[in-house]
């Protein structure tokens, strides 16, 4: 039996409407309706992710290449895939408390490779470029400063000041005074106080962004409710 | 060392005193009178002192026996130096000394011959007695090797113990041994020399320590003490306030969305990053060029992300007709990409899977997977999902045979759609060296935009579109094509205005309440 697209839209729209209301019921506090909706979401998501793992990871990246290697008698590919299968089986041993140590070598390999990739990426992709960008804002050879654009110059000054002052805020080194109390240097103290302003502005921007994102999602859901009701009623009017 | 010496000197006397006790003096007879009647009745006529006295008398008997021993044995004895006078070991030389009682017993083995041996000894004719070993044949004591000397029993101190025993007249005054003398003798060196120290139960602590302890106690008391709740009136009013705020927001948005008002003007001024993104998708990308689109956002953000991304993609497809390749590190990404390309806004372009777009699906492996994909896309993600309205159809087709791309740098542009700053950071970091000079445009949620902004400032990101605001901008400049953003825009503006009013109003209210409380406090004073 084939369902018509209109009927599918009606069913999916109805489910969307129902689950939106169930989730909105959390405004009244934690209740069974909200929990039912959450449990269904978790169950459906888990099932879908399991299907994705099988059809988009294990099958195309392990089973198909293995079949191909066997049919083509490629010993190199067969060896590589065999080692992958053995490694996967060793990690599966972690499910048993008695055999959990068997998968440590494979886990160590994965963690090592992951750490290396992350560290190299952070260094090359974030730290060095960000530091260079802060420095180069005042580079006299830079094209923006050749034009002596005051807006760019002020922007660069703000970026530099914000970076330095924010870093100063996280400088916690202090010296003991005669009365035993610990205090930062006066210059560092002033810089740290100024850094708090930049941190406050940054956190305010993040808060505004989070609110804007949540508000948009809320509007989209209300809009979908309205569209479903008007569409549903439109079928009968 | 001194204590060590005293211990050593005390030890022999203690041991010897336990073996030999002086004859009971007059005090002991008096002490016997103090014994309870039942103990007197139960006690034998001879006390343990008698036995020990007998033990003390044993050495002379042994000596008499030794006189009866053969000459060869006496020859050994005669050469033996007087150990009592000159002990082999000095008091401070050995760390361990053999048990005195053991040494005495060993001596007795040689001195007290058994009856059968002594009888036989008497019966034997004198002719059968072997010739006595003369002193000249005996081994000189000085020739003994050192390790043998070290093994010799030590009986140094015996004379001292004898003298100490004779003077040991300690009388037990308590317990079952009351009235007995020298039972538990106080050996020399063990006797208390002074009044024992008295230990106080009271804690010896300085004032500072006591102050710290009091402070700690105070803190713990504060932790365990119940905190009195504010009056129910305050809680009730804040709950009402929360409900009121929610109701105002909900009612305002609902009204605006139902009425589809267009009170607020749509934004017109492009930010520099949005302008750069517009230039890239409209002008920079060559006609029909391959473009990689990365779908890394959560389904819950669909409303906002699609509002920002759909106008941009609509414009790009309309102007440049690119070949699109979709990929995602989010398990739901493939589904979201399919939903995106088949949405009403883009459905009009009639893009077909396998010809105009390829959905490579889920890319596993996190950062390492992204890195591998950037290095070798066709090997890392060899298959694409077939276009199908059935979500559970995971049929795969080879992805790269019909694609004009074999390497990552051949993508004319990379468009990253994300709601997470970390996801954006990872993609920016891992593909930085692989995408060459090709532009990277980020379409992000408003919540991630502040963290991605520095990458645009450092020119690692070439264009950026974030949130509903930029979506409205693109929709305004999309040749008048329809979209949802304008429908949302009034509600969005109302919601933002209400938030500003609530925050400012709350702040002002708090300020006024604070002024009132201060005035009241001043009046009370």
Share of chain B above pLDDT 70, in %: 61
Chain A: nearest CA to B479, how far in angstroms? Answer: 24
More confident residue, B362 or B181: B362
Which residue of A213, A214, A223 is the best one to mutate when testing the B interface, meaning the one whose CB has the most B CBs within 10 A?
A213
Final residue before a domain boundary, out of A73, A105, A128: A73
In a domain? residue A97:
no
In a domain? residue B500:
no
In a domain? residue B117:
yes
B62 pLDDT tier (thresholds 50, 70, 90): very low
Q: Would the CB atoms of B396 and A51 count as touching at under 8 Å?
A: no
Q: Do residues A149 and A223 both lie within one domain?
A: yes
Q: Which residues of B touch A209 (CB under 8 A)?
A: 445-450, 466-467
Structural domain count, chain A = 2
In a domain? residue B174:
no
Strands B290-296 and B413-418: parallel
Q: Do residues A233 and A144 both lie within one domain?
A: yes
Which residue of B379, B446, B475 is the best one to mutate when testing the A interface, meaning the one whose CB has the most A CBs within 10 A?
B446
> What chain A residue is nearest to B330 in terms of C-alpha separation?
A49
In a domain? residue B430:
yes
- Rounded CA-CA distance B7/B1 in Å is 10
Q: Which residues of chain A have pLDDT under 50?
A: 145
Chain B: nearest CA to A121, how far in angstroms? Answer: 5
- Residue B18's pLDDT is 40
Q: Do residues A56 and A142 both lie within one domain?
A: no
The tokens 């084939």 sit on which residue? Answer: A2
- Rounded CA-CA distance A208/B368 in Å is 33
More confident residue, B316 or B51: B316
More confident residue, B129 or B246: B246
Which residue of A121, A149, A214 is the best one to mutate when testing the B interface, meaning the one whose CB has the most B CBs within 10 A?
A121
**Where in the sequence is the domain holding B52, given as residue range(s)?**
2-167
Final residue before a domain boundary, out of A47, A73, A99: A73
- Residue B399's pLDDT is 82
- pLDDT above 70: residue B255: yes
- pLDDT above 80: residue B513: yes
The predicted-structure confidence for B159-216, as pLDDT tens digits, reads as follows 444 444 455 566 777 777 777 776 665 555 555 566 767 766 777 788 888 888 888 8
- Rounded CA-CA distance A20/A26 in Å is 10
Would the ipTM clear 0.95, i.e. be above it? no
Closest of B248, B273, B448, B270 to residue A214, by C-alpha: B448
B156 pLDDT tier (thresholds 50, 70, 90): very low
Final residue before a domain boundary, out of A73, A89, A113: A73
Chain B: nearest CA to A112, how far in angstroms? Answer: 11
Closest of B466, B422, B471 to residue B447, by C-alpha: B466
- CA distances (Å), origin B442, targets A67, A89, B301, B307, B460: 39, 39, 15, 14, 11
Structural domain count, chain B = 2
Q: Would the CB atoms of A59 and B396 count as touching at under 8 Å?
A: yes
- Residue B488's pLDDT is 92
- Rounded CA-CA distance B446/B450 in Å is 8
Question: What residues does B296 pair with on adjacent strands?
Answer: B418
- Residue B408's pLDDT is 92
Q: Is B254 on the interface with A (CB under 8 A)?
A: yes
Final residue before a domain boundary, out of B116, B145, B167: B167
Q: Do residues B278 and B162 both lie within one domain?
A: no
Q: Would the CB atoms of B394 and A55 count as touching at under 8 Å?
A: yes
- Residue B398's pLDDT is 82
In a domain? residue A58:
yes
In a domain? residue A93:
no
Highest mean pLDDT among A62-76, A177-191, B79-93, B304-318: B304-318
In a domain? residue A195:
yes
Q: Do residues B339 and B465 both lie within one domain?
A: yes
Q: Which residues of B touch A144 (CB under 8 A)?
A: none
Q: Is B296 on the interface with A (CB under 8 A)?
A: no
- Say which of B303, B361, B468 has its CB closest to residue A56: B361
**Where in the sequence is the domain holding A45, given as residue range(s)?**
1-73
Cβ contacts of A213 within 8 Å, gap of 6 or more: B301, B304, B419, B445, B446, B447, B467
More confident residue, B494 or B83: B494
The predicted-structure confidence for B1-49, as pLDDT tens digits, reads as follows 443 444 444 444 443 444 444 444 444 444 444 555 565 555 555 444 4
- Say which of A55, A209, A222 has its CB closest to residue B254: A222
Which residue of A47, A154, A216 is the best one to mutate when testing the B interface, meaning the one whose CB has the most B CBs within 10 A?
A216
> What chain A residue is nearest to B496 in terms of C-alpha separation?
A212
């Amino acid at each position: 039996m084939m369902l018509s697209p209109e009927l599918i839209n009606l069913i999916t729209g109805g489910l969307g409407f129902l689950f939106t209301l169930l989730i909105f019921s959390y405004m009244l506090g934690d209740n069974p309706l909200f929990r039912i909706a959450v449990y269904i979401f978790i169950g459906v998501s888990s099932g879908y992710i399991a299907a994705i793992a099988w059809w988009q990871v294990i099958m195309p990246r392990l089973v198909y290449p293995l079949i191909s290697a066997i049919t083509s008698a490629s010993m190199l590919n067969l060896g590589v895939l065999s080692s992958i299968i053995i490694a996967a089986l060793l990690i599966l041993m972690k499910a048993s408390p008695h055999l959990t140590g068997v998968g440590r070598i494979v886990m160590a390999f994965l963690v090592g490779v992951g750490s290396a990739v992350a560290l190299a990426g952070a260094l090359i992709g974030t730290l060095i470029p960000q530091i260079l960008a802060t420095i180069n804002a005042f580079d006299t050879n830079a094209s923006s400063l050749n034009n002596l654009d005051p807006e760019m110059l002020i922007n660069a000054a703000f970026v530099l000041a914000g970076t330095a002052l924010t870093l100063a805020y996280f400088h916690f080194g202090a010296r003991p005074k005669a009365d035993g109390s610990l205090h930062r240097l006066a210059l560092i103290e002033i810089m740290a106080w100024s850094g708090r302003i930049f941190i406050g502005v940054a956190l305010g921007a993040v808060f505004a962004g989070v609110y804007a994102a949540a508000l948009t999602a809320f509007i989209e859901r209300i809009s979908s409710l309205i569209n479903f009701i008007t569409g549903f009623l439109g079928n009968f009017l | 060392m001194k204590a060590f010496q005293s211990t050593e000197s005390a030890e022999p006397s203690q041991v010897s005193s336990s073996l030999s006790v002086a004859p009971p003096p007059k005090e002991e007879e008096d002490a016997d009178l103090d014994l309870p009647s039942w103990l007197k009745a139960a006690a034998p006529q001879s006390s343990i002192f008698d036995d020990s006295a007998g033990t003390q008398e044993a050495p002379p008997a042994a000596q008499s026996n030794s006189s009866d021993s053969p000459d060869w044995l006496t020859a050994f004895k005669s050469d033996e130096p007087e150990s009592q006078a000159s002990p082999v070991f000095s008091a401070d030389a050995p760390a361990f000394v053999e048990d005195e009682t053991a040494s005495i017993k060993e001596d007795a083995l040689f001195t007290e011959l058994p009856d059968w041996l002594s009888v036989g000894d008497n019966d034997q004719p004198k002719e059968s007695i072997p010739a006595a070993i003369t002193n000249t044949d005996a081994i000189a004591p000085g020739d003994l090797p050192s390790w043998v000397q070290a093994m010799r029993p030590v009986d140094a101190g015996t004379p001292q113990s004898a003298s100490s025993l004779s003077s040991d007249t300690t009388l037990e005054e308590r317990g079952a041994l009351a009235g007995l003398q020298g039972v538990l003798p106080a050996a020399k060196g063990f006797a208390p020399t002074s009044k024992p120290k008295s230990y106080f139960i009271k804690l010896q602590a300085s004032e500072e320590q006591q102050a710290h302890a009091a402070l700690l106690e105070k803190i713990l008391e504060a932790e365990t003490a119940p905190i009195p709740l504010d009056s129910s009136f305050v809680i009730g009013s804040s709950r009402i306030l929360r409900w009121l705020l929610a109701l105002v927001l909900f009612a305002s948005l609902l009204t605006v969305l139902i009425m589809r008002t267009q009170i607020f003007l749509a934004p017109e001024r492009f930010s520099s990053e949005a302008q750069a993104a517009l230039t890239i998708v409209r002008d920079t990308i060559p006609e029909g060029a391959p473009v990689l689109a990365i779908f890394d956002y959560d389904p819950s953000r669909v409303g906002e992300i699609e509002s920002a991304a759909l106008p941009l993609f609509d414009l790009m497809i309309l102007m440049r007709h690119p070949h699109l390749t979709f990929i995602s590190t989010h398990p739901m990404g493939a589904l979201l990409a399919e939903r995106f390309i088949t949405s009403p806004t883009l459905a009009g372009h009639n893009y077909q899977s396998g010809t105009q777009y390829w959905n490579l699906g889920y890319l596993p492996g996190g950062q390492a997977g992204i890195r591998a994909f950037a290095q070798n896309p066709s090997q890392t993600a060899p298959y694409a999902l077939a276009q199908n309205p059935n979500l559970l159809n995971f049929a795969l087709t080879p992805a790269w045979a019909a694609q004009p791309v074999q390497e990552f740098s051949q993508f004319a542009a990379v468009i990253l759609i994300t709601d997470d700053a970390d996801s954006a950071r990872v993609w920016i970091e891992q593909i930085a060296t692989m995408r060459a000079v090709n532009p990277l445009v980020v379409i992000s949620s408003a919540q991630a935009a502040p963290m991605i902004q520095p990458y645009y400032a450092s020119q690692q990101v070439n264009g950026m579109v974030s949130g509903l605001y930029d979506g409205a901008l693109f929709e305004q400049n999309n040749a008048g094509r329809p979209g949802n953003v304008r429908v949302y825009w009034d509600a969005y503006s109302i919601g933002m205005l209400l938030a500003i009013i609530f925050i400012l109003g709350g702040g002002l209210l708090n300020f006024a309440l604070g002024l009132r409380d201060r005035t009241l406090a001043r009046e009370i004073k």
